């Protein structure tokens, strides 16, 4: 038992109910939190002032007057609930918590968890009790996004729908106030309607001719639209620009689970995560984006190599000016991670270093294996490409692995696969 309300037709009746409650409480070794209790006397619909109500020797319950409120299930109330005041208080606390989450040093995925598990429940309490319009809920969600943008966690041109799609499906797993409200209200109403066999539930339903947002006594109730995950995915997919990443993610040769692994288990900052998502959504202001999406008359020429077509594809894996610097660096970083894992696996090194500090030795050797890093292999016939990134010789199994790393753009992945086959 958490919060309790007692209703009685007159003061003497309330006295009796209170005696039963006190008696029961003391038998189960619980005490009334007297400082949180209050009494309200109503005559013909209006509040009348009254004396304090004695509970036991010397302890009295305070009486509520017209302007006072007390908290019941987290909401300030008197004879009814002052919807505007309670809503404003809930919103203030909600935004305060969101801002705290955004300012924290948590990783991107943990910020989302904190928002869903700590900020959103502030509003969840009120759904089904306070009346929220769809416009108000849209405004709430919009403000959440603008606060995220303010803290650099969301690119203003990024996909909105992707934000509300679970991380395992490639989204960012944020709860939307509108979706939570609509599904909450629908399931609460269904619950009451399914309990028509209980007298208490039936009484409540008969009274509610528009008292609550559920309007339980009303037949022609219009249930608000609830978007399922697949509905949201369909909207994401349908977007001309944002939908491209969705399409790429669902290509038959793409391992979707591995491709979204970083969203679920990565420890990137919220800012980095937002930036990577913006790149995937293809909303970065490249000259290609400016020419074809913004249509501001920019010539679509790469600012580095001066060749036509400064698309994201060109920047991330097609620019000749970046090939020998940035791409090579990225390639080496990826190869080093693999090298360190192999060296650890075969006991060639003992300690794991952060990948950016790890410097592979040209040759590592013990009685189990030999591991070469970027070393030419002498062959009988001359082979030009005789320098694999990594060569592993498993001495115990008498097997040699030649490892070559490539980091292709997702559209080139299929070609690399074909080449490998």
Question: In angstroms, rounded to a whole number, what is the distance separating the alpha carbons of residues 354 and 334?
Answer: 12
Q: Return the number of the residue (266 or 309) whose C-beta is nearest Zn ion.
A: 309
Quote the least distance from Cβ 404 to Zn ion, whole Å.
Answer: 25
Question: In angstroms, rounded to a whole number, what is the distance separating the alpha carbons of residues 222 and 233?
Answer: 25
Q: Return the number of the residue (122 or 319) whose C-beta is nearest Zn ion.
A: 319
Quote the least distance from Cβ 303 to Zn ion, whole Å.
Answer: 8
Q: What is the DSSP string of 395-406?
A: TTTTEEEEE---
Degrees to nearest 5, angle at CA 224 with 223 and 229: 120
Note the residues at the interface with Zn ion (CB under 5 A): 302, 304-305, 319
DSSP-based three-state secondary structure for 56: strand
Quote the least distance from Cβ 284 to Zn ion, whole Å.
Answer: 14
Quote the least distance from Cβ 361 to Zn ion, whole Å.
Answer: 35
Question: In angstroms, rounded to a whole number, what is the distance separating the alpha carbons of residues 144 and 99?
Answer: 9
Quote the least distance from Cβ 134 to Zn ion, whole Å.
Answer: 46
Q: Return the number of the residue (144 or 319) whose C-beta is nearest Zn ion.
A: 319
Quote the least distance from Cβ 326 to Zn ion, whole Å.
Answer: 11
Q: Return the number of the residue (65 or 320) whose C-beta is nearest Zn ion.
A: 320
Residue 301 DSSP label: B
Question: In angstroms, rounded to a whole number, what is the distance separating the alpha carbons of residues 72 and 242?
Answer: 45
Residue 83 CA: distances (Å) to CA of 80, 139, 143: 9, 17, 20
Picking from 85, 169, 177, the residue whose alpha carbon sits closest to that of residue 123 is 177
Q: Return the number of the residue (140 or 302) whose C-beta is nearest Zn ion.
A: 302
DSSP-based three-state secondary structure for 363: strand
Q: Return the number of the residue (110 or 316) whose C-beta is nearest Zn ion.
A: 316
């Amino acid at each position: 038992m958490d919060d309790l309300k007692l209703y009685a037709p007159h003061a003497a009746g309330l006295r009796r109910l209170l005696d039963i409650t006190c008696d029961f409480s003391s038998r189960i070794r619980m005490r009334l939190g007297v400082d949180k209790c209050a009494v309200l006397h109503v005559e013909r619909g209006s509040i009348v002032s009254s004396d304090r109500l004695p509970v036991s020797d010397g302890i009295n319950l305070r009486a509520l007057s017209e302007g006072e409120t007390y908290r019941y299930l987290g909401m300030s109330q008197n004879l009814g609930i002052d919807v505007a005041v309670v809503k404003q208080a809930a919103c203030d606390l909600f935004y305060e918590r969101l801002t705290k989450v955004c300012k924290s040093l948590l990783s991107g995925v943990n910020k989302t968890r904190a928002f869903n598990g700590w900020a959103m429940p502030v509003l969840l309490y009120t759904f089904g009790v306070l009346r929220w319009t769809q416009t108000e809920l849209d405004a709430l969600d919009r403000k959440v996004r603008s606060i995220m943008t303010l803290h650099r966690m969301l690119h203003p041109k990024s996909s909105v729908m992707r934000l509300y799609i679970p991380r395992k499906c490639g989204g960012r797993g944020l709860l939307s106030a509108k979706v939570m409200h609509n599904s909450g209200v629908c399931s609460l109403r269904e619950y009451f309607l399914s309990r028509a066999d209980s007298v208490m539930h039936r009484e409540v339903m008969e009274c509610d001719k528009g008292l609550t947002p559920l309007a339980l006594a009303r037949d022609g109730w219009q249930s608000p639209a609830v978007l399922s995950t697949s509905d949201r995915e369909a909207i994401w997919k349908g977007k001309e620009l944002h939908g491209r990443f969705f399409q790429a993610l669902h290509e038959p040769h793409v391992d979707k689970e591995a491709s979204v692994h970083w969203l679920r288990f990565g420890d990137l900052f919220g800012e980095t995560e937002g930036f990577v998502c913006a790149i995937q959504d293809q909303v970065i202001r490249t000259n290609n984006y400016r020419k074809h999406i913004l249509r501001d008359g920019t010539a679509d020429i790469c600012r580095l190599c001066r060749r036509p077509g400064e698309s994201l594809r060109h920047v991330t894996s097609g620019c000749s000016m970046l090939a020998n610097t940035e791409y090579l660096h990225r390639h080496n970083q990826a190869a080093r991670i693999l090298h360190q894992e192999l060296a650890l696996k075969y006991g060639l090194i003992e300690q794991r270093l952060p990948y950016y500090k790890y410097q592979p030795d040209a040759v590592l050797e013990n009685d189990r294996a030999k591991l070469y890093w970027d070393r030419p292999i002498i062959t009988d016939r001359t082979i030009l490409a005789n320098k694999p990134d990594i060569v592993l010789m498993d001495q115990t199994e008498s097997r040699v692995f030649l490892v070559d790393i490539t980091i292709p753009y997702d559209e080139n992945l299929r070609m690399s696969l074909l080449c490998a086959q």
